[in-house]
Amino acid sequence: MTRPLFAPLEQTSRDVVVVGVSYSECSRGAIVFGADEAYRRGAALRLVQACEPPEQDSTQSGLDTLAMMIHAEYPWLPVITCARPGRAEEVLLQESAQATLMVLGSQECQALAGAAACPVIRIQHRHEALA
């Protein structure tokens, strides 16, 4: 299920910053960084979360709420939400084919960096950087 929120009429498929969402501490940092980077690049922000099929509607609802919060901070930033059934690694790998950049928390899919079709930025939790 994909739902564009606040998206412009003309947007090329490659002008997208994809953020993997898991609601972990690292994921929150990735969301903030991804929104900043998408805004700076003039790209859309695509929030993606893998889920089990029975949870797809509730996952989509959570992503839509998150998109509205981002829109409050970045009113001109096109935000797209996507709850996709499947394993996170597979879903994000597929999403990378349509992205300019992918931003992940350090706990989400570390192996993706080498296999993704776009550059991947991994955001660490502050305590991880000190370890």
Q: 122: which 2 tokens? A: 């991994």
Residue 23 near residue 48, CB atoms below 8 Å:
no
Q: What local confidence, expressed as pLDDT, does residue 1 receive? A: 55
* Residue 89 is assigned to a structural domain of this protein: yes
- The domain of 103 spans 2-118
Q: 66: which 2 tokens? A: 């998150």
Helix then strand count (H, E) for the chain reads 5, 6
pTM, rounded to two decimals: 0.83
Residue 123 near residue 106, CB atoms below 8 Å:
yes
* Residue 81 is assigned to a structural domain of this protein: yes
Separation CA 18–CA 35 (nearest Å): 9
Q: What local confidence, expressed as pLDDT, does residue 8 receive? A: 45
* Residue 39 is assigned to a structural domain of this protein: yes
Q: Total structural domains in the chain?
A: 1
Reported as a single tens digit per residue, the pLDDT across 97-117 is: 999 999 998 765 667 878 899
* Residue 131 is assigned to a structural domain of this protein: no
Between 24 and 102, the more confident residue is 102
Q: What local confidence, expressed as pLDDT, does residue 5 receive? A: 53
Q: What local confidence, expressed as pLDDT, does residue 90 receive? A: 93
Calculate Rg over the CA atoms of the chain. 14
Residues 29-45: what's their mean pLDDT? Answer: 95
Whichever domain contains 33, its CATH number is 3.40.50.12370
Residues 52-64: what's their mean pLDDT? Answer: 94
Residues 76-84: what's their mean pLDDT? Answer: 96
